[in-house]
């Protein structure tokens, strides 16, 4: 089992789009996958067809009330397992302030899940994907403490290089809490091949961070933006769209890394 956090402090760079569509593509390749929404915005939850305000149990019940992950798993209409999130998750920083183990709540919930699955001899997950919020709050720290690898979605714009340098530093600092933490890869999102600046920045990224850059570029593709409105991953919305094919290629690269 591998845990992968999709993180970038910057907002709107395609984290949730990547989390949902990478999960769907991995599931399509017969991987057993669980998607955990760690953002009070609940975009990954809605994006997989769940109604975020009509759920019995969410990640908030797991992190704040000690409910087990196993109990909170919902089968999404998209066909894979999801731990949902909604506004109840907001304010977690304040609720847990002063609690000594507050940064490793997710980590311990995940090890309980693994133990429970082994106990019940149920099929273990191949991948657990964590969709993080655009900030370095306690929730994101929980994700980075629980995970080994981080996938960073990044837009090829002027400040991308600085942003990536900052993020690497943050991750480096957090290795104090989680020695195994590392950048699994950086994926270029919302990529427009006709844009000269995007191409220049993309080349710079290859030059400076070549060994952690995924080969797959996720293009700016309207189908990727439309699919969440229907509560389905792009694969179920338009399988042959450029966006769907790009996320399938990314899933191939992720699986390749595991082998
Ligand atoms: P936040 O920081 O708020 O969590 P995010 O990093 O999760 O945002 P997304 O929600 O995935 O970013 O994407 C932001 C917006 O851009 C959404 O409306 C999404 O549908 C759209 N979008 C993301 N990727 C693409 C793409 N490759 N092509 C077209 N639209 C995209
Ligand atoms: Mg998001």
* Residue-range domain boundaries for the chain: 2-258
Sheet (strand 33-38) strand order: 74-75, 81-83, 33-38, 127-132, 2-6, 149-155, 182-191, 213-219
Whole-prediction pTM: 0.97
pLDDT of 160 reads: 87
* Nearest-angstrom CA–CA distance, 146 and 103: 9
From ligand 2's centre to the CA of 166, what distance in Å? 19
114 has pLDDT over 90: yes
136 has pLDDT over 90: no
Kindly report the average pLDDT of the chain as a whole number. Answer: 95
Tokens read off for 79: 């066909």
Query: Pocket around ligand 1: residues whose beta carbon is below 6 Å from it?
Result: 11-17, 39, 43, 134, 189-190, 218, 220-221, 224-225, 228, 243
- 50 band by pLDDT with thresholds 50, 70 and 90: very high
- What number does the ligand 1 atom closest to the CA of 153 have? 6
**Each residue's pLDDT tens digit, 151-191:** 999 999 988 888 888 889 989 999 999 999 999 999 999 99
* Nearest-angstrom CA–CA distance, 129 and 102: 21
Tell me the CATH architecture of domain 2-258: 3-Layer(aba) Sandwich (3.40)
pLDDT of 19 reads: 98
Pocket test for ligand 1, best of 15, 17, 219, 241 (most atoms within 8 A of CB): 17
Query: Each residue of 79-92: b (16+ CB within 10 Å) or e?
Result: bbbbbbbbebbbeb
Nearest CA to ligand 1 atom 8: 12
Nearby residues for ligand 2 (ion, Cβ within 5 Å): 15-16, 43
Q: What spatial distance separates the first Cα and last Cα of the chain, rounded to whole Å?
A: 12
pLDDT of 127 reads: 98
Average pLDDT estimate for 22-43? 97
* Nearest-angstrom CA–CA distance, 218 and 187: 7
Considering every ligand atom shown, identify the ligand nearest to the alpha carbon of residue 247 and give its number. 1
Give the CA distances from residue 240 to residues 18, 233, 244, 245, 248, in Å, rounded to whole numbers and listed in that order. Answer: 17, 13, 6, 6, 10
- 249 band by pLDDT with thresholds 50, 70 and 90: very high
Give the CA distances from residue 194 to residues 216, 222, 225, in Å, rounded to whole numbers and listed in that order. Answer: 16, 16, 19
- What number does the ligand 1 atom closest to the CA of 134 have? 2
Average pLDDT estimate for 207-230? 96
Pocket test for ligand 1, best of 16, 137, 229 (most atoms within 8 A of CB): 16
- What number does the ligand 1 atom closest to the CA of 8 have? 6
Q: Under a CB-based contact definition with an 8 Å cutoff, are residues 9 and 134 in contact?
A: yes
* Nearest-angstrom CA–CA distance, 59 and 133: 13
17 has pLDDT over 90: yes
Question: Among 143, 124, 106, which Cα is nearest to 6's?
Answer: 143
115 has pLDDT over 90: yes
- 120 band by pLDDT with thresholds 50, 70 and 90: very high
Strands (E), 124-227: 127-132, 149-155, 182-191, 213-219
Pocket test for ligand 1, best of 21, 225, 231 (most atoms within 8 A of CB): 225
């Amino acid at each position: 089992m591998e845990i992968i956090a999709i993180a970038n402090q910057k907002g709107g760079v395609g984290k949730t789009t990547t989390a949902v569509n990478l999960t769907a593509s991995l599931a399509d390749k017969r991987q057993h996958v669980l998607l955990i929404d760690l953002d009070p915005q609940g975009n990954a939850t809605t994006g997989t067809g769940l109604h975020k305000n009509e759920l019995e149990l969410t990640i908030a019940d797991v992190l704040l009330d000690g409910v087990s992950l196993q109990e909170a798993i919902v089968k999404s209409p998209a066909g894979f397992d999801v731990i949902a999130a909604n506004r109840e998750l907001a304010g977690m920083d304040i609720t847990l302030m002063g609690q000594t183990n507050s940064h490793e709540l997710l980590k311990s919930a995940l090890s309980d899940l693994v133990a429970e699955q082994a106990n019940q001899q149920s099929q273990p997950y191949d991948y657990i994907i964590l969709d993080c919020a655009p900030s370095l709050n306690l929730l994101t720290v929980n994700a980075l403490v629980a995970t080994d690898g981080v996938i960073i979605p990044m837009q090829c714009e002027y400040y991308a290089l600085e942003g990536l340098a900052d993020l690497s530093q943050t991750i480096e600092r957090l290795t104090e809490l989680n020695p195994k933490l590392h950048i699994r890869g950086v994926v270029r999102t919302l990529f427009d091949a006709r844009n000269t600046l995007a191409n220049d920045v993309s080349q710079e990224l290859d030059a400076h961070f070549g060994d952690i850059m995924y080969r797959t570029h996720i293009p700016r593709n309207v189908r990727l933006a439309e699919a969440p409105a229907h509560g389905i991953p792009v694969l179920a919305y338009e399988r042959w769209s450029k966006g769907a094919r790009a996320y399938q290629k990314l899933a191939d690269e992720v699986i390749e890394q595991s082998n």
